[in-house]
Amino acid sequence: MTSTDRPWWRDAVVYQIYPRSFADANNDGTGDVQGMVERLDYLQSLGVNAVWVSPWYPSPMADGGYDVADYCDISPMFGTLDDADAFLACAHERGIRVLIDLVPNHCANTHPAFRAALSAGPGSPERSLFHFRDGSGPDGAEPPTNWGSLFGGSAWERVVGPDGPEQWYLHMFAPEQPDWNWANPAVAEFFDDVIRFWFDRGVDGLRVDVADGLAKDMDYPDTPIDPETGLGQATFYPGHPWWNRPELDAIQRHWRDIADSYAERGLGERIFVCESNVKPLDALMRFVEPGRMHTTFNFDMLWCEWEAGSLRAMIDRNLVAHAAIGAPTTWVLGNHDCTRVVTRYGKPETGKPFTLAGTPPEWLHRFAEYFYPLPTDAALGRRRARAAALLEFALPGPAYIYQGEELGLPEVEDLPDEVRDDPSFFRTNGRIAGRDGCRVPLPWSGTRSPYGFGVDAEPWLPQPAAWADLSVAAQDGDPDSTLSLYRHALAIRSAHPALGDGTLAWSDEVPGHVLYFTREPGFGCLVNLSAEPVPLPGGAQVLIASGPLEDGLVPTDTAVWLDLP
C-alpha cells in the first residue's frame, strides 16, 4: 500500500497545542483560540498534518482544563464556539486535521450534573451519575475504600452538606475532578452526544484522556496497601479495580461505531487516539484491535533511556505488537505531562518522565525510577533531542510533537513556587515539581518576555530570560536551528515514499553502539549513540543530519537520514 492509499492517520505528524500556552491574541497573559488561528500559517510551514488541542472547554482550571465544566462550549478564557469553528475551518483550508481532547473519566466539580448530584442527596438518580458512597468506620468518617488518588492523598472526598458531613465521592485525580460512573448508561449516552457534537462540527478526531480508567469495579474492593503511602495502590496491576477493566471493550467499540458512521455517510473519517499507560503491551494492544480504537499513544519512547540497545528493543517490541494487530504505532517524545525532552536527555540518567522539585517525600522512594535528579546539561540534551526527532520521524507510523519541541525548548526547572499551578505540586506539598515547567508559554519573537506570546501582558507562567534565542523569529532563517531541522525533516518525510507507516529493517553494517535501519525504497536512518564517531554506510548520501558531520563521520548523539543506492 502506498502512502497515498493509506488513511491519513496512519502516517500523520500531529502537533499538540496546549491552548493556554500557545499564543495570546487578546493580550491577557493566557493563550486563546484566536491566537491558534493566527498561528496556523506557522503550523502549515512546519509541515504538520494535524493538531491535537488540549482541553479548551469552560473549566475552573483546577487541573489545567482537564476539569471540564461544559463539554460543548469553549472557555471564555480561550474564546467562543465561533472562534473554535473559525479555527476548524482555517485549519482545514490548510489541510490540517483537528483532534481535540475528550475527558470522559471525570468532569469539574462545577459541572451542572455534579452540582445537581450534590444537592439531590444520597440514593438519587443524579448521584448515580458519579461514584457516591457512604463512608466506612464510625459515622462513615473514613473513606469507603483505601483507594489513593494519582495526584496524592485519598481518592475519596467527603461531601459536607447543609446538615454536616455525609457521603463521599470518588476522584482518581484532584478532588475538583469527580469521576463519572460509566456503569450508568446515562453517562454513556451523555458522552455519545458530546462526541457527536464535535464530530458534527468537523473535528476529525478525539484524544481520549485516561482512556484506560473509565470503568470501575462496582464492588469497590480495597486494593493492596502501598506500605509507603498507607493508601491503596493507584498504579496499574492486573485486576486493578479501575485500570483496564473488561467493560472498556464495549465502550470503545460503541465509540468506534459512532466514528465509522461519519465515513459511511461520506462525511470523512473520524478517529480516536487513546491516552493509556496499560501494561503489559499485549493488554494495551487490545485497545487497537479491529473495531476498537484507531490508535493509542505509545509512551515507551518517552520513557526509554537514550541508549541504543534499549531504544532498539523498545522500537521492535512496539512494531511487532502493533503489526500483529494491524494498528500503526504512534511515537511520542513529550507532552504537557512530562519533563521536556531536551531536559530529559540532558540529565545524568535518561529515561524518566518527571522532575523532582526538592527532597523526595519518603513514599516517593518507591517511585524513584520515575524522577530525575538535577542538574541538566541543556546543550547535550538538545543535541540528543534533535537526533531523537529524526529517529521519531523516520519510524513507521504517526508521530506527535508537543508544542515547543520544534524550538528545542527545555523544561523550565526553576519556576518559583508561587507561580506554580499544578495540583500534583500542591497535593504533594511541593515535593513533586509537577508539570508547569513544560507548560511555559511559547516564545514567538522579540528579545524579552512575553516574546510575542502576547503584546505586553505578563504570561500566566514566567518565561526564562534566555528564551530570546529560542523564539520562532530567532530560529526562522537560521539553517542550523532546531526549527529548521524540524521543517526540513517533515518536508522530506511527507515527500519520501519510504516514510510514514510501513516497516523497517535493521542493519548491522555500521559497527558500534548505533541504531541503523533501512526502509524501502532507498532510505536509511542512522543514529550514533556511541562515544566515538561512526562512518556512513557505503554509497549513502546524506539527506539531512541532526548536527554537523565531522570529516564525513557521524558524531556522537547525531542522527542522519540517508539516500541509499
- Kindly list the residues in this chain that would bind ligand GLC in the complex (CB under 6 A): 63, 66, 103, 173, 209-210, 275, 336-337
Which residue, 335 or 482, is less far from ligand GLC as judged by CB? 335
What's the closest the beta carbon of residue 111 comes to ligand GLC, in angstroms? Answer: 14
For ligand GLC, the closer CB: 209 or 436: 209
Q: Name which of 97 and 427 has its Cβ closer to ligand GLC.
A: 427
DSSP 199-226: HHHT--EEEETTTTSS---TT-PPPPB-
Is the CB of 18 or the CB of 486 nearer to ligand GLC?
A: 18
The least distance separating ligand GLC from the CB of residue 491, rounded to whole angstroms, comes to 30
Q: Shortest distance, CB of residue 296 to ligand GLC, whole angstroms?
A: 13
Distance CA 564, CA 524 (A): 7
Nearer to ligand GLC, 11 or 436 (CB): 436
Q: How far is the CB of 210 from ligand GLC (least distance, A)?
A: 5
With cell 462496582, the residue in question is 218
State the minimum distance, in angstroms, from the CB of residue 63 to ligand GLC.
5
**How far apart are alpha carbons 210 and 414 in whole angstroms?**
29
CB of 301 to ligand GLC, least distance (A): 17
Q: How far apart are CA 452 and CA 445, in angstroms?
A: 5
Q: Which residue is nearest to ligand GLC (CB)?
A: 66
Residue closer to ligand GLC, measured from CB, 11 or 275: 275
**Among positive and negative, which fits the CA dihedral 68, 70, 73, 75?**
negative
What cell numbers appear for 469 in the block?
Answer: 534565542
Residue type, 349: E
What is the residue-wise DSSP string for 163-179?
Answer: TEEEEEEE-SS-TTSPB
Give least dist CB 103 to ligand GLC, A.
Answer: 6
Alpha-carbon gap, residue 95 to 91, rounded angstroms: 6
* Grid cell locating 50: 494535524
Task: Print the SS3 string covering 66-97.
Answer: CCCCCCCCCCCCCCCHHHHHHHHHHHHHCCCE
Among 261, 251, 253, 254, which Cα is nearest to 199's?
Answer: 261
Indicate the length of the chain as a whole number: 565
> End-to-end CA distance of the chain, in Å?
22
Phi, psi (deg, nearest 5) at residue 408: 70, 30
Could you tell me the smallest distance in angstroms from the CB atom of residue 436 to ligand GLC?
11
Query: Judging by DSSP bridges, how do beta strands 50-53 and 97-102 pair with one another?
Result: parallel
Q: How far apart are CA 394 and CA 526, in angstroms?
A: 10
Smallest distance, ligand GLC to C-beta of residue 275, A:
6
Burial class (CB in 10 A: 0-12, 13-18, 19+), 291: exposed
Q: What is the largest CA-CA distance in the chain?
A: 81
Q: Name the residue nearer to ligand GLC (CB basis): 178 or 381.
A: 178
Kindly tell me which of 275 and 501 has the beta carbon lying closer to ligand GLC.
275
> Smallest gap, in angstroms, from Cβ of residue 176 to ligand GLC?
11
Closest CB to ligand GLC among 105 and 223?
105
For ligand GLC, which is the closer residue by CB, 8 or 71? 71
- Strand duo 354-355 + 371-372: pairing: parallel
Closest distance between ligand GLC and the C-beta of residue 209, in Å?
5
Please give the Cα distance from 482 to 476 (Å, whole number): 9
Q: Which is nearer to ligand GLC, 15 or 451 (CB)?
A: 15
CB of 2 to ligand GLC, least distance (A): 34
In angstroms, what is the minimal distance from the CB of 178 to ligand GLC? 12
Torsions phi, psi of 563, nearest 5? -95, 120
| Helix boundaries (H) for 304-377 | 308-325, 341-344
Omega within 30 of 0 (cis) for the link into 375: yes
Cβ closest to ligand GLC, residue 216 vs residue 383: 216
Q: Which amino acid is at 287?
A: F
Q: Of 97 and 336, which CB lies nearer to ligand GLC in the complex structure?
A: 336
- Round to whole Å and give the CA distance between 308 and 530: 8
How many Å separate Cα 204 from the centre of its chain?
17
